[in-house]
Chain A
Amino acid sequence: MDASTILFYIIAAYILVTGVLAVTTRKIFRSAIWLLFSLIGIAALYFWMDLPFIAAVQIVVYVGGIVVLIIFSIFLTQKSGDQMPKPILGRTLPSALASFFGLVFTINLIWHHGFVENKGILFDPTVDSIGMQLLNTGEGGYILPFEVVSMLLLAAMVGCIVIAMKVKKEETI
């Protein structure tokens, strides 16, 4: 058992424990903080997989953006100290059973599939090669999805502003 293996198990246990706490704790603010820790653990997993660029994107967008957005919306919409009502047994039991059987089924499939790992070729996810291929117009280039995603972000931004805008009561639009 080498250091990489031990590190993987530590990261995996950290992600799963914080993930379970994020979906089961009854204080909503604590739930957001556990989600934050879980996302940091996933960034650590990307570092473990030699993907520093993705890990950096994960930390910047998820930890720095989405979780902060969620915390802001918690503060805007409710008292963060309140406990949420306990979910009834008639709802937790079927969902726990469904999740458990889905989990067992999928793990069984993965375990018996026997993936053949491709170990000969060096994996090269440096920012250099990622940038060259992402903005390439030729074969295997991703410039078109890149531009489409930029349009999507613009549309999402306009949509957010329109949806969350306060409409005055006097005006009839």
Chain B
Amino acid sequence: MISVGLTHVLILSTCLFFIGMYGFFTRRNLITLLMSVELMLNSVNINFAAFNKYLFPEKLDGIFFNVFIITIAAAEAAVAIAIIINLYRSHNSIDVEDAGEMKY
């Protein structure tokens, strides 16, 4: 039995990232797409914190990146939801299939 270390945390975050990717590929609703992106961002955050804790414990840079990613994710979610609400007003639907005017 190997003691829990960096590898275990990295495997957990990898699983979470690919769960988010699966959701991003299969969902067709803009809000659920946004949720999948949040899951992927969180898995990356776990990576930053784990690398900082286990490989470079004398520094704090991973934690700062973590905080900045959380901030930018908040800004991204706010802008995305504003766009979704605007799209709902003009199309009465937030399905990605219904918003294909700029596709071709």
Contact = CB atoms under 8 A, between A and B. Distances in A.
A173 interface: no
Nearest to A76: B85
Contacts, number: 213
Contacts of A106: 14, 18
A117 B6 contact: yes
Interface class of chain B by DSSP:
helix
Contacts of A149: 68, 71-72
> How many A residues are at the interface, by size bracket?
35 or more
B54 to A, nearest CB: 5
Given A54-B66, A130-B63, A23 B22 contact: yes
A8 B8 contact: yes
Contact of B14 (A53, A66, A95, A110): A110
B35 A70 contact: yes
A130 to B, nearest CB: 6
B82 A115 contact: no
A117 B49 CA distance: 14
A121 B64 CA distance: 19
A121 B58 contact: yes
B79 interface: yes
A46 B61 CA distance: 16
Interface string B10-22: 1110111011111
Nearest to A20: B19
Contact of B32 (A28, A140, A152): A28
B38 A77 contact: no
- Greatest chain B CB density within 10 A among A31, A54, A65 is at A54
A16 B11 contact: no
A78 interface: yes
Interface in B1-49: 1, 3-12, 14-16, 18-23, 25-29, 31-32, 34-36, 38-39, 42, 45-46, 49
Interface of A: 1, 4-5, 8, 12, 15-16, 19-20, 22-24, 28, 31-32, 35, 38-39, 42, 45-46, 49-51, 53-54, 57-58, 61-62, 65-66, 69-70, 72-74, 76-78, 84-85, 87, 91-92, 94-96, 98-100, 102-103, 106-107, 110-111, 115-118, 121-125, 129-130, 133-134, 140, 142, 145, 149, 152-153, 156-157, 159-161, 163-164, 166
9 contacts: A12-B12, A54-B66, A66-B74, A95-B22, A99-B21, A99-B25, A102-B21, A156-B76, A156-B78
